[in-house]
Structure 1
C-alpha cells in the first residue's frame, strides 16, 4: 500500500492496470501504469513461481504498486543471458506477452 494517500500515476498518459499477485497463499491487489505493471510482472515471473494476473476493468480504490517508479526505465527485469519471455496470465488465464 502506498504511504502517500492519493498518490497519482507517474505516467498520466498511460492507462492504469490492475495487478493481482499471489504470495504464499495470500492475494495482493495493486494498480500501476502500464509500463511499470508489465515490467513488474515480467520480473515477478523471473524471481518467483507465484502467479501474477492482469485484470481488466476498474482500478478505483486499489493502492498503487509500492515503488512503482522503479519499474519505469525498463531495466528492472533480472535474468542471466537472454531475458526470458515473461509468462503473465490475463484474467481468463490467457498468457499475455509483456514485451509488446
Structure 2
C-alpha cells in the first residue's frame, strides 16, 4: 500500500503538531492546508488543545486527516 499523496504535490509539505493533555500528534500536510487549519483553529482557541506549525525539518509519515478540506479558507 503506497503512502497518501499530497492534494497539492507541487507545494511543499510542512509539519503540524497538535497537543492535548499528554498526547502529542504530528502530521504532515501541504502548506496551504496546514496554515488554513491553523488560522481557523487560532480564531476559536480551546485552552486544553494547542496546534502549531513546527519548523524543525521533520515531516511525519502520517498526513493530516481531511487535508483536502483545508485547501480553501
The TM-score normalised by the length of structure 2 is: 0.81
Of 29, 32, 52, 1:32 maps to: 29
Unaligned runs of 5+ in 1: 75-100
How big is the shift at 1:69? 0.6
Unaligned runs of 5+ in 2: none
How big is the shift at 1:62? 2.3
Instruction: Report runs of 4+ in structure 1 exceeding 6 Å deviation.
Output: none
The RMSD of aligned alpha carbons is: 1.8
Q: Which structure has the highest helix share of the two? A: 2
The TM-score normalised by the length of structure 1 is: 0.61
How big is the shift at 1:18? 0.4
Return the index of the structure with the highest Cα Rg: 1
CA distance in 1, matches of 2:63, 2:30: 9
Cα deviation code 1:17-39 (max 9, x no counterpart): 10111123311100110110001
**Greater length-normalized contact order (CA 8 Å, ≥ 6 residues apart):** 2
Q: Name the count of aligned residue pairs.
A: 70
